[in-house]
Amino acid sequence: MGYADVYEGWKADPEGFWMEAAKVIDWDRPPTRALNDSNAPLYEWFGDGMVNTCWNAVDRHVANGRADQAAIIYDSPVTDTKATITFAELKDKVSMLAGALVAQGITKGDRVIIYMPMVPEALVAMLACARIGAIHSVVFGGFAAHELAVRIDDATPKAILAGSCGIEGSRVVQYKPLLDDAIEQATHKPEVCLILQRPQCEATLVPGRDLDWHAAQDGVTPAECVPVEGTHPAYILYTSGTTGAPKGVVRPTGGHLVALNWTMKNIYNVDPGDVFWAASDVGWVVGHSYICYGPLIHGNTTVVFEGKPVGTPDAATFWRVISEHNVRSFFTAPTAFRAIKREDPKGEMIKGHDISCLRALYLAGERADPDTILWAQRVMNVPVYDHWWQTETGYTMVGNPAGIEALPVKIGSPTVPMPGYDVQILDEGGHPLPPDTLGAIAVRLPLPPGTLPTLWNAEDRFRKSYLNTFPGWYETGDAGMKDADGYLYIMARTDDVINVAGHRLSTGAMEEVLAGHEDVAECAVIGVADELKGQLPMGFLCLNKGCNRPEAEIVSEVVKLVRNQIGPVAAFKLAVVVDRLPKTRSGKILRGIMARIADGQPFKMPATIDDPAILDEIRAAIQPLGYATETKQP
């Protein structure tokens, strides 16, 4: 059965499709129905089922003959550490930590914040919460104290599980002082903190509140799995870049299990026992879905990687990990490959590593520019699949279903909608647009299982953010178009569509042109205010390592490229060369902040920014163009 048959089968009987997918999950009480639409446009899936996530991710594999299979491979070039944890060992670790939580009074429905580096204990912490029905909220390790405090006040956790430190490249980041500062700032106070002491930096424990991770487990009774309702929140995840009140995405347990399990074979084309690697962080949704839960639920081995694509120690690190651990499917962000490509433009460093075990590379998290995809295809000699989804959905909305049928790749498109997602392009009035027309990307309600049913303690905000603009639809916040074959093209966030003299233009389309220049390793395009045309595009170029050509020549060439490929209507004439672009720690380029700097508008420093000093570099680069002359930060 091909993709078209599967997709049409879902459209003909959505509930039957998901009830069939639910059969491979171990339920304590199987659901009798899939969808509850009695409170539309708020929907629930598998509400009358009872189930436990940890049982499905760990215990059932031990019971079904996978006890000795590797569940987690830990590879940490920054600490020169490698370790393998079997499913049997994982069960012991998780049940003991869960027992320690129970001993501290944590029960079903209680919230637990996890503030951890990329170590196996981060996954153990998530699974231990799931084991006893506690609702975890992972906050990216090393996140600023104020932002952590805001999340503490919103989630009101009874406990916090934290590492003493993380390692960013060669730099040790102390987490405990940040945690202590956040608790001091927060109105809500957790009852207990369990601290994993790392040898790189041991933390001072606060008497009466803080417990050593291992000591807290001494002598406790291992906890058994607690069944929860299908609609019970598995976790809360705050979307990156949150300003003001946090936006806590809720993930329902039953749909989460069903949907993630379905994706592992149908999208990522792995079988139980295969090694799957998502090079991300547990603090982001990719880490939740495809480092922790998805692979383990499906019976795969997951790789926990503590390092960077370059610098730990070099641009061949990814090739070493794939080769050494027999990785079958690999998932990361395009920004990681742009970093590798910039350091090793010709891909010479892969030659010392045999990656013939790898079937495919999957890219997501931001737009994958064609130049990066083509480079990765050439260097790795495997299919490269862009796919598109969001923190809110938790898994693929639009992708290439390689486990069903590997569809022809169209460079620049994440391919086609997956079952569960009726994706359309709408005009400002909410009407579907014809092919090849730029508009707002929306998904017809109800969203499929595992997607957000609401925001944590913020139903009105949920409606306003996602449901009110186009009644009957989920507003994605992205802009794009579909071609005549139904392939989707994600061109920009809705905010990144600029208006040049009345013409709506995609900054993403311009970035594709800039990225195609042989000397450009990475780029970004923003819209800046212009008295005559309303807005003008401004390009930022990062050049390949070893490029010695005059910057003015390259700028002149990319201006001509945009004029030739998009047309004079783009009015593209402003471009500068910079050493690096401002990004979040997950790799997303902060285009909105760059635009505010250029326009002299005040901005709030994003909590997730990788290095605030880059913003001063951006300001200095564009001031000679007559911009960024009055930027003030409140």
CATH at residue 41: 3.40.50.12780
In a domain, 365, yes or no: no
Helices vs strands, H then E, count in the chain: 19, 32
Q: Are 448 and 529 members of one domain?
A: no
Say whether both 432 and 518 belong to one domain.
no
Query: Residue 6 in contact with residue 416, Cβ under 8 Å?
Result: no
What is the separation of C-alpha 595 from the centre of its chain, rounded to a whole number of angstroms? Answer: 24
Q: Is residue 486 part of a domain?
A: no
Residue 46, Cβ density class (10 Å: 0-12 exposed, 13-18 middle, ≥19 buried):
buried
Distances (CA, A) of 519 to 51, 61, 542, 576: 53, 49, 9, 14
145 and 231 in a common domain: yes
The four Cα atoms 53, 55, 56, 61 give a dihedral, to 10 degrees, of 150
228-229 and 50-51: which strand pairing?
antiparallel
pLDDT score recorded for residue 142: 80
pLDDT digits (tens, 9 = 90+) for 196-232: 999 999 999 999 999 999 999 999 999 999 999 999 9
- Report which of 131, 123, 333, 368 is spatially closest to residue 240, judged by C-alpha positions: 333
DSSP 606: P
Domain annotation covers residue 577: yes
Q: Interior CA angle at 286 toward 424 and 396, to 5°?
A: 25
- To the nearest 10 degrees (0 to 180), the angle between helices 87-103 and 120-132 is 60
CATH of the domain at 532: 3.30.300.30
Strands (E), 201-323: 210-212, 228-229, 233-238, 248-252, 275-278, 301-305
Could you read off the pLDDT of 590-608 as tens digits, one per residue? 988 999 899 988 888 877 7
Distance CA 68, CA 273 (A): 11
- Nearest alpha carbon to residue 131 among 171, 155, 101, 161: 101
What pLDDT is attached to residue 504? Answer: 66
Which of helix, strand or coil describes residue 64? coil
Q: How far apart are CA 294 and CA 300, in angstroms?
A: 8
* Residue at 607 is within a domain: yes
In this structure, are residues 623 and 631 in contact, taking their beta carbons and an 8 Å threshold?
no
Q: Where are the beta strands (DSSP E) in 495-543?
A: 497-500, 503-506, 520-530, 534-543
162: enclosing H helix or E strand: strand 159-163
First to last CA, the chain: 57
Three-state secondary structure call for residue 185: helix
- CA–CA separation, 2 vs 10, rounded Å? 13
Statement to judge: residues 445 and 527 lie in one domain: no
Q: Which residues are CB-neighbours of 288 under 8 A, at least 6 positions away?
A: 126, 138, 235, 237, 251, 282, 394
208 contacts: CB under 8 Å, gap ≥ 6: none
Q: How many domains does the chain divide into? A: 2
Residue 450 in any domain: the answer is yes
- Residues 401, 285 within the same domain: yes
- Considering the domain architecture, whether residues 442 and 544 belong to the same structural domain is answered as no
pTM of this prediction? 0.87
The single residue listed with the structure tokens 């205010």 is 529
Q: Is 531 exposed, middle or buried (0-12, 13-18, 19+ CB in 10 A)?
A: exposed
Intervals of the chain under pLDDT 50? 241-243, 631-634
Q: Same structural domain for residues 472 and 515?
A: no
Based on the fold, state whether residues 535 and 469 are members of the same structural domain. Answer: no
Q: Is the CB of residue 510 less than 8 Å from the CB of residue 519?
A: no
18: left (phi over 0), alpha (psi -120 to 50) or beta: alpha
157 and 264 together in one domain: yes
Cα–Cα dist 57/296, whole Å:
5
Cα separation, 4 vs 7, in Å, equals: 5
The DSSP letter of residue 434 is: P
Q: Is residue 317 in some structural domain?
A: no
Query: In the structure encoding, which two tokens stand for residue 25, read together?
Result: 């999950």
Confirm whether 99 is domain-assigned. Answer: yes
| Helices 370-380, 507-515: crossing angle, 10 deg rounding | 40
pLDDT number for residue 243: 44
Q: Which domain holds residue 137?
A: 3-307+387-480
In the three-class reduction of DSSP (H, G, I as helix; E, B as strand; rest coil), residue 146 is classed as helix
Would residue 13 count as lying in a domain? yes
**Do 121 and 253 reside in the same domain of the chain?**
yes
- Say if residues 570 and 505 touch (Cβ distance below 8 Å): yes
Same domain, 198 and 257: yes
Residues 398 and 516 both lie in one domain:
no
Instruction: Name residue 323's amino acid.
Output: S
